[in-house]
Amino acid sequence: MLLIQSILSPFYIFQIFSVTLWFVDEYEIYATCILVTSLVSMTFELVDLRKNLKKLRTMAYYECDVQVKRINAQGEAGFINLPSNDLVPGDIIIVPESTKMP
C-alpha cells in the first residue's frame, strides 16, 4: 500500500511519463539511468517510512507509572501512582529527574 501511494505522487508520475517518452525517442541509456535512480530512491524512501511508522507505533503504546495530583473523597489534594494510560488532559504529574519520557 505504501508503494502504491508513493508511485501515485506527482513526482513519480512525471518520472514514469518522462522515462516512457525517452524510451520511445530511443534514449534508452538515459531513460534506464533515470529509472534505476528513481527505483533506488523510492526503495530507500519506503524503507525509511516503514521504519518511522514502526517507531511511531511503539511510542504510541508506551506505558509507565506516573505520580498524578488528584483530589480524594475528602477534597484533599494528593499524589497517587497511576499508569500513564489513565492520564487525562489537565493532569499534573511529577517528572522525576533523569526520567525518559516519550
Confidence (pLDDT) at 51: 94
Confidence (pLDDT) at 48: 93
Cβ atoms of 2 and 46 closer than 8 Å: yes
Categorize the per-residue pLDDT at 101 as very low, low, confident or very high, splitting at 50, 70 and 90: low
Mean pLDDT score across all residues of the chain: 86
Pairing outcome for strands 77-83 and 93-94:
unpaired
Closest to 67 measured CA to CA, from 81, 78, 83: 81
Number of other CB atoms surrounding residue 89 within 10 Å: 4
Categorize the per-residue pLDDT at 102 as very low, low, confident or very high, splitting at 50, 70 and 90: low
